[in-house]
A and B are shown apart, each in its own frame.
Chain A
Amino acid sequence: MKASEFLSGFLKVVESGLRHLVRKRMTLRYPEFLVVPAPDELFGFKPGEARDTNGLRGRHLLDLDRCTGCRLCEITCNGISGAITMVKVEGQFPRNKRGIFPSIDYGRCVFCGLCVDACIFDALFMTDREELAEYDRAALLYGPEEISKPPKELPVKIRAKRAELILDERRGAHHVQRKN
């Protein structure tokens, strides 16, 4: 390799590196900011259109009034992760005479969402909540009452602001806070 060739190649590398000093930072301060790329929609299955809605696959949401206790979600999950078991819930449910509803063990769930596909009664959805860490493994077992309520807002201290990815050819990819 000639000295001139070496020097020009080296200088180009340094120039490429230095240009990034003035570019916007791509990394995200995670606990304070959270990227939610999907539209704010629940991940669910539309049997009529034979497709899923676009949404992040996170914690489930169960509609107790629509669930018939048909066990289709449990049967599907049995071959995948075995996270769903049916449990009995006290109370009167006109569509669900036996009163059995799915409970989900998030220590096992792989968030494939195929249980949502299996539900033909439009009762099971997925929310975009992915932060499910607990100190205790038993706390990861969510009963029907827990998954029938929308996820709780996180405490203000760790509540994330939603960020959006901006793709700019000149200034580089970076995040800005989402307005809505």
Chain B
Amino acid sequence: MSYYQLVPGVYVEELPEKEGKITVSIGPQHPGSGHFRLIITIDGDVVVDADPDPGYVHRGEEKMCETRDYIQNIPHLERPVVLDSAGIQFPYILAAEEILDIKDKVPEKAKYLRILLAEFNRVISHFYFLAIQAIFLGHSTVLEWSMADREVLMDLAAMLTGARVTFAYFVPGGVRSDVPSGFVDQTLKAVGYLRSRMKEYWRMLVDNPFMKMRMEGVGVLKAKDAIELGAVGPNLRASGVEYDIRKVDPYSLYDTVEFHVPTYKEGDTMSRIKIRLDEINESLGIIEQVVRKLDGMRGPVRHLVKGAALRAKPGEAYARTEAARGMMSFYIISDGGRTPYRVKVDTPSFRNMKLIPVLLKDVRVADVPIVFWSIDYWPVEADR
């Protein structure tokens, strides 16, 4: 019988033990797991069973929504996934607009600005993914590179919104601020710069023979399994299923921008890296198109909703978007008050958590961090 001390000397938990095998608890406070516990059973050097144990960073975001009005809910809803704060705001705002009945009043310019910030955030989030994946691979060059290149877009986002990470930029009715002077030029330059860098990333991570040896054929997720387990986002597309909410169910003005959805057939750790590199490229394309459209576009950016109009009619609303990690959706029920009656957040990380036991099976212990991180699981987002 093995024990795990949750609080040393106070609370001891029994871990199941199988004949001749060792059960190891990774986390919850471990740099390689995020704030999340992973219980793996190993036979020699090979993982025979992996059991994710979420809940360590549960914050009760859904309950918090019930005591705040539709504008006060904005800042705290960004906190579960600060790396992709526009990604989690987008579906909330779309659902809130539907329930407040101001969906048709959102200015066109605001819709483009939303797409712009959402794509900024997708790139920022994917760069963070690459950084951590690289350091798990022992490739600290790419760690430094991607952390530095994130800064370019974070500075631009700060120019637009006033904050580097937690933007609080989307509001029911539009966005909060207009395009500043010099922003369009600076963004086009940034797109050019990052495009030239993406070739180097590809060379460093994908064509690198050492990375090929580490990642090709490791942690394979077959397309059939991915669909059955309900995988979303880049992980699903890396297994060969072309499914992107931006194409399947276009929201905002995504149907007016051109991009394609990259897919890979292999479904291994390497293809999950390749898909994110491709997605950064596609996002840069969207940013370029949107910025060119915004250049010289006039008009309001926000339909101002005041006091009494923030009171929603009884009813329900649902909105889904493609965040950096996959499909993010919000379901809001209102009973006619100032605050929502119930808010349900469906996050991509929670859906992707089901992949962990499948992916980690028959993987060597040394490969556990890279396979685990390759699905870009963000514990705080999953726990909400």
Interface residues of A (CB under 8 A from B): 1, 5-6, 9-10, 12-13, 16-17, 26-27, 35, 37-39, 43, 47, 49-57, 76, 78-81, 110-114, 117, 126, 165, 167-169, 172-173
Instruction: Give the complex CA separation of A12 and B196 in angstroms.
Output: 15
5 A-B pairs with the lowest CB-CB distances in the bound complex, closest first: A79-B72, A54-B180, A57-B162, A50-B304, A79-B68
Determine if B4 is an interface residue (Cβ-Cβ < 8 Å). Answer: no
Give residues of chain B (182-210) contacting chain A, Cβ–Cβ below 8 Å: 182, 186, 189-190, 192-193, 196, 200, 203-204, 207-210
Instruction: Evaluate contact between A79 and B67: CB separation under 8 angstroms.
Output: yes
22 A-B pairs with CB atoms under 8 Å apart are A1-B213, A5-B209, A9-B207, A35-B155, A37-B156, A39-B182, A43-B162, A47-B304, A51-B178, A51-B302, A52-B162, A57-B162, A110-B75, A111-B166, A114-B72, A114-B168, A126-B162, A165-B152, A165-B155, A167-B152, A169-B193, A173-B148
A residues less than 8 Å from B178 (CB atoms): 51, 54
Does B48 sit within 8 A of A, measured CB to CB?
no
Q: How many residues of B contact A (CB 8 A)?
A: 51
- B300 interfacial contact with A, CB 8 Å: yes
- Which residue of the partner chain A has the closest CB to B173? A50
Residues of B contacting A10 in the complex (Cβ-Cβ under 8 angstroms): 208-210
B76 touches A167 (CB 8 A): no
Instruction: Map CB proximity to A onto B288-316 as digits: 1 under 8 Å, 0 otherwise.
Output: 00000000000011111000000000000
A167 touching B75, Cβ below 8 Å: no
| Given known contacts A35-B155, A167-B192, A79 and B180 CB-to-CB distance under 8 angstroms | no
Across the interface, which residues of A come within 8 angstroms of B155, CB to CB?
A: 35, 37, 165
In the docked arrangement, what's the CA distance between A10 and B208, Å? 6
Output the nearest chain B residue to A28 by Cβ-Cβ distance.
B151
Closest chain A CB from B153 CB (angstroms): 11
> How distant is the Cα of A10 from the Cα of B210 in the complex, in angstroms?
8
Q: How far is the CA of A163 from the CA of B163 in the complex (A)?
A: 17
Check B207 against A12 for contact (C-beta < 8 Å): yes
Give residues in B with beta carbon < 8 Å to A. 67-69, 71-76, 141, 148-149, 151-152, 155-156, 158-160, 162-163, 166, 168, 171, 174, 176-178, 180-182, 186, 189-190, 192-193, 196, 200, 203-204, 207-210, 212-213, 300-304
Task: Give Cα distance in the complex from A2 to B304, angstroms.
Answer: 64
Q: Which residues of A contact B301 (CB under 8 A)?
A: 50-51
Cβ-defined contact, B152 with A114, below 8 A: no
A55 contacts B162, CB within 8 Å? yes
Q: With contacts A35-B155, A79-B69, A169-B192 known, is A53 near B177, CB below 8 A?
A: yes
A contact patch SS: loop
Which of A17, A55, A78, A167 is in CB contact (< 8 Å) with B193? A167
Whether A1 pairs with B159 at a CB distance below 8 angstroms is no
The distance from the CB of A45 to the nearest CB of chain B, in whole angstroms, is 9
A50-B189 in contact (CB<8A): no
| Minimum CB–CB distance for A162 against chain B, Å | 13
Q: Which residue of A lies closest to B212 (CB)?
A: A1
Are A168 and B148 within 8 A (Cβ)? no
Given contacts A38-B180, A113-B162, contact A17 B75 (CB under 8 A): no
By the criterion CB–CB under 8 Å, are B180 and A39 in contact? yes
Bound form: Cα–Cα A35–B186 in Å = 15
Assess the B193–A50 pair: CB atoms within 8 A: no
Closest Cβ–Cβ distance, residue B289 to chain A (whole Å)? 19
For the complex formed, measure the closest distance between the CB of B161 and the CB atoms of chain A, giving whole angstroms: 8
In the complex, what's the smallest C-beta–C-beta distance from B188 to chain A, in angstroms?
9
Tell me which residues across on chain A come within 8 A of B208, comparing CB atoms: 9-10, 13
- With A13-B208, A50-B300, A52-B176 known to touch, is A168 a contact of B67 (CB < 8 Å)? no
Chain B, residue nearest A26 (CB): B148
- Residue numbers in A under 8 Å from B149 (CB-CB): 173
Taking a contact as CB atoms closer than 8 A, the residue among A38, A50, A167 that contacts B162 in the complex is: A38
What CA separation (Å) do A14 and B210 show in the bound complex? Answer: 12
Asked if A1 meets B209 with Cβ closer than 8 Å, knowing A27-B148, A173-B152, the reply is yes
A38 CA / B164 CA spacing, docked (Å)? 11
Task: Find out whether the CB atom of B204 lies under 8 angstroms from the CB atom of A37.
Answer: no
Across the interface, do A56 and B303 meet the contact criterion of CB distance under 8 Å?
no
Min distance, Cβ B307 to any Cβ of chain A, angstroms: 10
Q: Is the CB of A49 within 8 A of B300?
A: yes
A17 CA to B105 CA in the complex, in Å?
Answer: 51
| Chain A residue, CB-CB nearest to B188 | A167
Shortest C-beta distance, A39 to chain B (Å), equals: 6
Residues of B within 8 A of A37 (CB): 155-156, 158-159
